[in-house]
Each structure stands twice: as structure tokens, then as C-alpha cells.
Structure 1
Amino acid sequence: MKNIFKITYLFTLALILSSCSDDDDKLTLASEEASVINTPTNGQEFILNPLEEQTNIAITFSWDHSSYGTPTGIDYSVEIAASGTDFSEARTLATLSNTYFTMNIADFNAVVSSLGLPPFVSNTVDIRIKSTVGDPSQLPQYSDTVTISVTPFTTDLPRIAVPGNHQGWDPPTAPQLASSAFGETDYEGYVWLDGEYKFVAPNQTGDFEWGNTDWGDNGNFNGFLVVDDEVNCTATTGYYLVKADTDLLTYSAEAHSWGVIGNATPTGWDSDTDMIYDPATRTLRLTLDLVAQEAPDNGLKFRVNDDWTINLGDTGGDGTMEFSGDNIGVPTSGNYTIVLDLSNPREYSYSLILN
């Protein structure tokens, strides 16, 4: 009987010791101390330069380790959001185990622009560090928010809109003109006009709407623009190369009739075959039988008003059009739909579609 009691006692003791040993081996994790951001600092200003080498470092994020009460692997996410949004539409720049992260100019500019911040204007963004262990949804800790100023840029050419009778006087959907370069005020582009029209500038967020700066004719219809006491510009129905200089306050609209010419076309190099404007797509189109010809010595080109003063070709055959560029080759003889797209100002394109 005593032996049975001893065995039972020893077995119970072993269970208790085993249970204590298992508890000692378990790690208890708990949110204890969030990270502290060291760089950037509150109020720091970043002006991103489109002319600088885009692989140069624009910003460095660094922070202290967070704590979960016991040594463990921690993942850190760098989050950025437009100020005042409470990170509701935040972007995660990186998730890593290090406590630092750098971004070059191109990448940082792209992220900031994706937040909807207008270019060439100082804006504020919020930054925070999120730390997690294992499952990202478990025990997240957030650093205090750091707010910085950022001036992003765009490589898109500056634009103005041309609303008018031709499209229902609706600036957001109006055709646009583009300037020749950043900081330049000489705008141009192709527009189908049908009576009266005006020029409208974008607002700080890049939107075209009434209430923005707009220009009209000075009332003499001699090619000069004014901002105040203006009247609508006017043109007879047709397709125009429209130009406007918002510094010199001048404008012009020159009617252009585009055609296709070349030894790939039925009339060869002797005459054009005129193209037809399609208002639904804002492109010029033509269905024509073409003969296979090899560029750059042969093929076809696009030209204006049955004259060689203004013509478009494709130097290098890369699909990018250049004024007075090389002939465009035709790979196979057949019936084609030819499309000339001048709706994107200063970035013109074409397509040859075999029917």
C-alpha cells in the first residue's frame, strides 16, 4: 500500500514539474514601446528637382527599435499619407527588419505624386512606422507621426485647355495644348473648332474648371489675349493647329488639312489622299489600299494642306513621330485603316491597321 502511495505521489510531482517547465519555455509578447522616428524630422522640407540625377537619394527614414517585452523578430513598415487623412489611404513604402530605409528622387516623387499632391507646390505629408511580429494584424505598434513638406514635380508638359462650342464649353473634357518645356508659356496643339472658344489654365491640383484663370480675345480679333473684359475667340468649323502664349498674350489658329502621301499609296508621291476627322476618337482616319514599301527610302508620310512645309514621319521606325521625319514603311500590301492621332499635344502617334 505504501508503495502504491509513493508511486502516485512521484507521478503527480512529475506532472507538476513538467507543467512548470513548459510555462518557463513559453515567450509572452506584448506591445510595450513603439518606435521613435529619428529622420526625417517634423517640419523638414524636401524640394524634388526634375533636373537632378534621379537615382540620387532624396530621403532617408530611420527609427529606433520597438519593444515587445522579450527579444523577437520584428517587421517594420514605413507608411506615408497626405496630411489630414489619418492614414486612410496610406502608401507602404517598404516592410523590412532594418531600422532605416532610403528612397531615390524618382521613386519618392512617384509615391508622393500618387497621393494626389499637385506638382511644383509645397505640400505636407505624414509619416509613421508600423511594427509587427509574425501576423501583421497582431500586436501592431505605431510610432508618433512626423509631418514633412514636399514639393514634387511632373515630367508631363504644362497644359492649358480649350473649351468652346466644339465640345459644350466643358473645361474638364476640353482638348488641351502643351507647352514646349517646363517653365515655358508657348502652348500648342490640335483642336477641332466650331465657333467660339477660350483658353483655361489648370488650378493647383491640375484640374480644369471655370473659376480658374482663363483668357479670351481682346475684342479686336487680331491675335491678342486678355484676362479681363475678354470676348470669346472664334473660328469657322475645321481642324486647327492652335497656339497660345500666356506670357506674351498672343494666340493663333491655323486650319490644317492632313493627308497621306508616298509610293505606298495609290497616287504615289504626286498627290495626297485626304484624311477625315473622327470626333468620337479625336483622330484623323482613312481606309486605303497600300503597297508594301521599305522605309526610310520608301513608304508614306503625313503632310498638311497638300504642301511639304509641315509633315510628319517616323525616324527610326520606333512609332514616335517627328516633324520632317523619315518615311513610314508598310510591311505588307493590303487594305489598311490609317490613323493619325494628334490629340495628345506634342506627342503625336499613328497606326497602320491591316483590315
Structure 2
Amino acid sequence: MKNIFRNILAVALISGFASCTDEQDLKFLDNAAEFRILSPVSGDAVVLSPETPTNPGLSMTWEDMDYGTPTQVTYTVQVDKSGDNFDNPVDLVSTNNTYVTVTSDALNGASLAAGLTPFSQGGLEIRVKSTVGSPASEEKFSTVITYLVTPYSSELPKLAVPGNHQGWNPPTAPRIASSAFGQTDYEGYVWLDGGFKFVGPDAAGNYNWGNTDWGDDGSFSGVLAESGESDITATAGYYRVNANTTTLLYTIVPTNWGIVGAATPGGWDNSTPLTYNPSTQKWEGTVVMTAGGFKFRANNTWDINLGGDPDGDDSMNYGGPDLSVDTAGTYNVVLDLSNPRKYSYSVTLQ
């Protein structure tokens, strides 16, 4: 009888131990909220703007996390795209307070990193993680809210131009850029030499074969085809490249650049040629200039010419106003078209 009792007791103890272990496991895996976010509330929204980067983008308050003993608590605000369950949360800011204000610029960067689409409202899940000590331990989490954010991007969408000119390697290929986010009118200047194609980025912004790409439709009349079997071809030279992935049209125009104007040796009638430097990817020259106006133009005609930047978008404008120098002398002249739609120049007195 005693042996039977002992066996029953042993089974009970083992079962109890297993139950405790199961409960501990469940508690360890349980991400139930330990404290609450007080403001904002789910459904609140913000539209971010590049014109006001230092304005508040998010102001938050939350409850204290009580660890049962007086200790300094570190709070980290974490964000992730709605539906991603904080698989890869972005740490937005850390503080020892129970409140924080995040600038529009910082929130915008975190929103894009979390996967929100520029200029489109998306849900950003927000929680607060609390820890104590150094290194941080005893992680606890707040309730989760959904904040509706419309982020922005100052980065123009781009296509890569891989080809014979650079070894058919999309990650290192030169780029052409659209005029604005959401537009598909890509443009840029590229040294070409043989066949090439256009390759778009993947969701992470990487350019590789296997992404969407465009080639010639086989007619070689300036018509694109997605995953086109035919390479677009060009003889060796420096080209203005335009491609529209909506209209499926492209053009490549060979260009040789020079400087022209009252300040230059040829006046307004004849361009003083510049030389393309493949190492710097810039057009360069030493030019004796007088005080006066000038512009840059291609092929010694006015079909393609670049002047000043009256709209302030950090790029010289086609047909823009005259540029000028105030002092006569010998100048080092540089025209940089390597950054698509961010064309720039310098004239440096020697």
C-alpha cells in the first residue's frame, strides 16, 4: 500500500512540475501588454512634408512601467508596418521619460525603413519597450497603437542601365531618374558602348537581374518591351538617355558638350568644346573667359542646352537663364551630368 501511495505521489509531483513548466513557457512567450500608451490613439494620422522636417511628427505619452523596486527605466519607442507583428521593429527613439516628441524627418525615415510607401497613407504600428540595467534586461512592452502616416521621399525613382559599357552588372550600373515620385519619365546621361538594358529596383531598392527589366521590342524603333529579348544598342559615346516605362518608348541622343556665350572665346555662335573624363564622369576644360554670360550646350546647337536653376531644385535647367562670371581670366570649367536630374557645374578661376 505504501508503495502504491509513493507511486501516486511521484506521478502527481511530475505532473505538477510539468504543469508549472508549461505555465512558465506560456508566460515567457506571452507578449501581453504590461503598460499603456496614453496618446496618441489608434487611428490618429499625420501627413509629413519635406518642407517642415523639424516639425513634430509624433508626440507620445505612456504609463510608467513598475518593476516593483525603485530603478531607472529606459523606454524605447519601436515601430513596424501594420501587419508585420514587429518581426523586424525599427527603434525610433530611447528616453528615461514617459513622453517623447519625434521630428517629422525622424518619423519619415523610420516609416520608410519599416516599409511604408512615400506619398501614400499607411499604417505604422507603435509600441514602447521598457528595460532596466546595463546591459538592458527585463524587457516589457506597452499596448500597441496604429498611427496612420503619409511619408515622403526626396529620392527620385531610378532605373539602372547595365550593359556592355560596364560589364552587365546592375548593382554598379549608372542610373537614370524620373522627374518626380510616381512618374515614369526616366532621364540621365550615360557613356554607352554596345548593348544595354534598363533594370528596375526590387522592393528593397536593390538592382539585380531577376527584377523587372526592359529591352528593345525587336523593331529597334525606340519601343521598349518588358523582359525584352533584344538588347538596345549604341556605338561608343556619351548619350542623353530617356525611357518611359508607361508609354514604353525610349530615345538615346549622342552628345558632345561645350560652353558658349559672351564670356567664351566663341561668343554665342560657337561652343568651346569640353572633354569627357571617364574617370570623373564629367566634362572638363580650361577656358579663357571674359566677364559675361554663358551656358552649356550639346553638339554645338541649341537643341539641348543647360542654364541656371530658377526653380531651386538643385539642378541646372534646360533652356535656363544665363550663367555668368564677373572676372576675366583662365577658368577650369566642369560640367557634371553624372547625377541624373541633378546636373551641376563649376567655373574656377585659375
Q: Does 328-337 or 345-354 show the bigger shift? A: 328-337
Kept in 1: contact 2:215–2:225 (CA 8 A): yes
Match of 1:182 in 2: 181
Match of 2:302 in 1: 308
Match of 1:352 in 2: 347
Match of 1:245 in 2: 244
The within-5 A match list for 1:1-355 is: 36-38=35-37, 58-67=57-66, 69=68, 74=72, 76-80=74-78, 83-85=86-88, 91-97=91-97, 99-113=98-112, 115=113, 117=115, 119-120=117-118, 127-130=127-130, 137=134, 142-144=139-141, 146=144, 152-291=151-290, 293=291, 298-315=292-309, 320-355=315-350
Partner secondary structure for residue 268 of structure 1? coil
Deviations 1:209-239, CA, capped at 9 Å, x for gaps: 1100001001110111112452000111111
Distance 1:351 1:96 in 2: 49
User: Structure 1 residues 195 and 46 mapped into 2: Cα distance closer, same or farther (>3 Å)?
Assistant: farther
TM-score by length of 1: 0.73
Distance 2:250 2:315 in 1: 27
User: Structure 1 residues 299 and 186 mapped into 2: Cα distance closer, same or farther (>3 Å)?
Assistant: same
Deviations 1:173-226, CA, capped at 9 Å, x for gaps: 111111122211111111111111101111001111110000100111011111
Partner secondary structure for residue 347 of structure 1? coil
Distance 1:166 1:330 in 2: 36
Query: CA offset at residue 333 of structure 1?
Result: 3.2
Give the AA of the match of 2:249. T
Q: Does 338-347 or 136-145 show the bigger shift? A: 136-145
Deviations 1:302-349, CA, capped at 9 Å, x for gaps: 012212232111256987422222222224433322111111111111
The structure that has the greater radius of gyration is: 1
Partner secondary structure for residue 299 of structure 1? strand
Kept in 2: contact 1:263–1:299 (CA 8 A): yes
Give the AA of the match of 1:312. L
Q: What is the aligned length?
A: 308
Distance 2:178 2:310 in 1: 25
Kept in 2: contact 1:118–1:206 (CA 8 A): no
Distance 1:345 1:290 in 2: 28
Query: CA offset at residue 155 of structure 1?
Result: 2.2
TM-score by length of 2: 0.74
Distance 1:307 1:216 in 2: 30
Query: CA offset at residue 138 of structure 1?
Result: 7.6
| Identical residues among aligned pairs (%) | 41
Distance 2:38 2:173 in 1: 44
Distance 2:262 2:228 in 1: 52
Distance 2:262 2:51 in 1: 46
Distance 2:59 2:166 in 1: 48
User: Structure 1 residues 218 and 40 mapped into 2: Cα distance closer, same or farther (>3 Å)?
Assistant: farther
Match of 1:31 in 2: none
Match of 2:7 in 1: none
Partner secondary structure for residue 110 of structure 1? helix
Query: CA offset at residue 126 of structure 1?
Result: 6.7
Query: CA offset at residue 118 of structure 1?
Result: 6.8
Partner secondary structure for residue 78 of structure 1? strand
Gaps of 5+ in 1: 1-33
Partner secondary structure for residue 166 of structure 1? coil
User: Structure 1 residues 186 and 236 mapped into 2: Cα distance closer, same or farther (>3 Å)?
Assistant: same
Q: Does 222-231 or 331-340 show the bigger shift? A: 331-340
Distance 2:322 2:136 in 1: 65
Partner secondary structure for residue 165 of structure 1? coil
Give the RMSD, CA atoms, in angstroms: 3.6
Distance 1:60 1:232 in 2: 52
Distance 1:92 1:251 in 2: 42
Kept in 2: contact 1:35–1:64 (CA 8 A): no
